[in-house]
Amino acid sequence: MKNAHLRMGTLQFTKVLRDTTIDVSVRMDRLIAEHESASNSTRCHLLSVIGNDQEIAAIAAAIADEARFYASGPELNRTMISLGKDADVFRGSINIPGRRRPLRHLVAVSEDLSQTRAGGNPTARQTVLCDDDLAFLLYRLGARFGLPVLPEWTKWFGGELDRHKAVEALIGLGCRPVLVKGTKKRFLGWIGHALKRGAIKIPHHSQASSWQVPTSFSCQAARELAATEAPEMRPSTATVRREIDG
């Protein structure tokens, strides 16, 4: 937490009314955004901000109205962003010793990012993820699409992503987000071809495999923390073949 304020950015919302102007600026510790070249705009997928009661209430109302904000921070030029429609908003409180009132914390998630959960939008053609760790990418895509994957395939999968130019870096504050392009059918095709060529294998032993993936929503912190065991995802050969053939 040392010098944490130096790593934080600012989120600003301004709205001109008939008799007054609303101008709210709050501190921002996380941001994931995607520049959309087709519309020459920047779509925000996640933001995390802190402020007082009035400030957070104003930000939440603006998100509900699909308003636009200005975001800035370390290595982030002032950029206009919007979460779009159907964004999810979560609010909480942070108690600080010596402070009479708690700080209010708000996290907003775009519809696209919320659908990266397990089983969310299985026909999606791209996936927004908050970390560029290869094991994390493989694990999260496996969880989202129900892919039969193993941690031993991480290096191979990273090579496939590079070969197909399927990963695009996104704008991030406090994390290193990426956009992975591909459908469930496409990833199953990669797995099927790799199994046939012998590029990847399903071990014959019955020992459980552990996923070593980041556990903190901070790229730097995640690499400093000890990795944890994620739920086992060991498919049988029959399961892999059934998914590919289906």
DSSP-assigned states of every residue in 115-156: TTSTTS-TT-SEEEES---HHHHHHHHHHHHT----GGGHHH
pLDDT tens digits for 197-212? 999 998 877 666 788 7
At a CB cut-off of 8 Å and minimum separation 6, what does 62 contact? 13, 15, 69
CB 185 within 8 A of CB 125: no
Domain boundaries, the chain: 4-113, 115-245
Instruction: Please give the Cα distance from 127 to 236 (Å, whole number).
Output: 26
pLDDT tens digits for 34-49? 987 766 679 999 999 9
Instruction: Please give the Cα distance from 43 to 100 (Å, whole number).
Output: 36
Instruction: Please give the Cα distance from 196 to 183 (Å, whole number).
Output: 20
pTM given for the model: 0.82
Residue 82 tokens, joined: 């919007």
**Pick from 122, 113, 101, 95: nearest CA to 33:** 113
- The H-or-E segment that residue 31 falls in is strand 21-36
Residue-wise pLDDT tens for the chain (246 aa)? 566 666 799 999 998 888 888 899 999 999 999 987 766 679 999 999 999 999 999 999 999 999 999 999 988 999 999 999 999 999 999 898 888 889 999 999 999 999 998 888 889 999 999 999 999 999 999 999 999 999 999 999 999 999 999 999 999 999 999 999 999 999 999 999 999 999 999 887 766 678 878 766 654 444 443 333 344 444 544 444 444 455
> What's the farthest any 2 CA atoms get from each other in the chain?
73
Inter-residue long-range contacts of 208-213, CB under 8 Å, 24+ positions, other chains counted: 208/232, 208/234, 209/150, 209/151, 209/152, 209/233, 209/234, 210/151, 211/135, 211/139, 211/151, 212/135, 212/151, 213/133, 213/135, 213/136, 213/139
CB 213 within 8 A of CB 69: no
